[in-house]
Amino acid sequence: MRASGKAASGGRFLTIKDVPVAGRRALVRVDYNVPLDGDRIVDATRIRASLPTINYLIEGGAAVILMSHLGRPKGRRDPRMSLRPVAATLAVLLDRPVRFVADALGAEAAAATAALQPGEVALLENVRFYPGDEANDSEMAAALAKHGDLYVNDAFGAAHRAHASTCGVADHLPAVGGLLMERELDVLGGLLASPQRPFVVVLGGAKVVDKLGVVSALIERCDVLALGGGMANTFLAAQSCELGRSLVERSLVERAAALLTAAQRRGVAVLLPQDLVLAGQARTGVPTLVAGSDDVPADLAAYDIGPATMVAVADAIATAATVFWNGTMGVYEVPEFARGTAAIARAIAAATRRGAVTVAAGGDSLAAVAAAGLEEGFSHLSTGGGAALELLEGKVLPGVACLDTGPAGRP
Ligand code: ADP
Ligand code: MG
């Protein structure tokens, strides 16, 4: 069955629930780009997030062939980035055997996946061991497509990449979204389409250049925009604060100023840090000092939001019906500068408890949520950092645009 169009044309994509799966070989792109310590998986969140789709396909009578990238092997086989340990963890989580196929291409891999029976699961080796994946090479896409007769993209975290395994493969097979892809698009798309108000956005992190697009897009949607972390410094500089040795991107100060003006025109309340935690360097054991944002000594740098700012942002969150958070409020890796981030995570968890819709995205932000033991305190923790931000910026995600739409696709 070939559906009638591609999601690129604006239609809602089909999911595995819209197509027959019994007796089919489902080639599923997942995001198993997990943190490894040797061959130990430090955090299996991304593997867990793939289980609903895999279980749905198994129960529906499909054979499941999984493919993913891991790390940046740059087109060459690198045993440190093998998916073999992931197959072992997945087998435990699924409570059934997972056949690890030590190649993603080639005759042996093809034979292994051709022999797979309904209800069986195989995981191919890292697709980025081949240069054709990131190059979105059409021959690589065609070769991958031979493993299945239905393509399922459940790799939301890689959906902003136009690679052979995320996107090119959809030229050769019927292509639908998995359950994780559907949930991510529903939740994040919902923030753009119809957020319950007040909608409070909290953005932090180090690199302001990564965040200008999302600031610009969310100014059009939110009621309160709270900025923290290193990126807030550039906005403070736009308000003529002298910030000593803090990270400030001088070349972006003018754009930051323009965004502040745009926010004001839209009636969005912008919360910039009123006070900051300062030190000579971001290292554990250093002496720290709290100062007003317009009172930073020349030889110190800001590494966290101060206590007055924590209260102001938490107060805003306390009024919110919807919260989106990305980017830590400080150098959370160093305990001295982790308090602001932890305070914001706790404030959001409290908002969730009283019924607010709360969403966090980003590798470091989610690591901070986990470190605070607050994973259950959010309505949704996105598995995609870059993909989530690009979606909220209004960009088309190639891994979604390549999926089929059809008569069964909901608008
Ligand atoms: P995410 O991974 O959640 O998208 P980011 O990568 O954007 O978050 O931001 C987290 C990073 O920002 C951390 O490595 C943290 O150390 C850094 N950071 C936050 N605040 C500052 C600051 N004031 N100065 C320098 N680095 C900062
Ligand atoms: Mg990060």
Pocket test for ligand 1, best of 286, 304, 331 (most atoms within 8 A of CB): 331
List helix spans (H) across 220-300. 229-238, 253-266
CA gap 398, 77 in Å, rounded: 26
Q: Whose CA is nearest to atom 5 of ligand 1?
A: 205
CA gap 112, 107 in Å, rounded: 9
Burial of 168 (0-12, 13-18, 19+ CB in 10 A): buried
Residues with beta carbon inside 6 Å of ligand 1?
A: 204-206, 229-230, 247, 302-303, 326-328, 330-331, 333, 362-365, 385
46 catalytic? Reply is: yes
Give the pTM. Answer: 0.94
Q: Measured in angstroms, how far is the CA atom of residue 370 from the centroid of ligand 1?
A: 16
pLDDT at residue 4, as a whole number: 66
Pocket test for ligand 1, best of 328, 369, 381 (most atoms within 8 A of CB): 328
Selecting among 207, 213, 245, 280, the annotated active-site residue is: 207
HSE value, Cβ hemisphere, 13 Å, CA-based, for 269: 13
Nearest to 291 by CA among 299, 86, 217: 299
Q: Whose CA is nearest to atom 9 of ligand 1?
A: 205
CA gap 158, 49 in Å, rounded: 14
168 catalytic? Reply is: no
267 catalytic? Reply is: no
pLDDT at residue 6, as a whole number: 86
Q: Measured in angstroms, how far is the CA atom of residue 149 from the centroid of ligand 2?
A: 36
Q: Whose CA is nearest to atom 7 of ligand 1?
A: 205
Q: What is the mean pLDDT of each run of 10 residues along the chain (411 residues)?
A: 67 94 98 94 95 98 98 97 98 98 97 97 98 98 98 98 98 98 96 95 95 96 98 97 96 98 98 98 97 97 98 98 98 97 98 98 95 96 96 96 77 41
What residue ranges define each of the domains in the chain, with the CATH number in brackets?
5-183 (3.40.50.1260), 195-393 (3.40.50.1260)
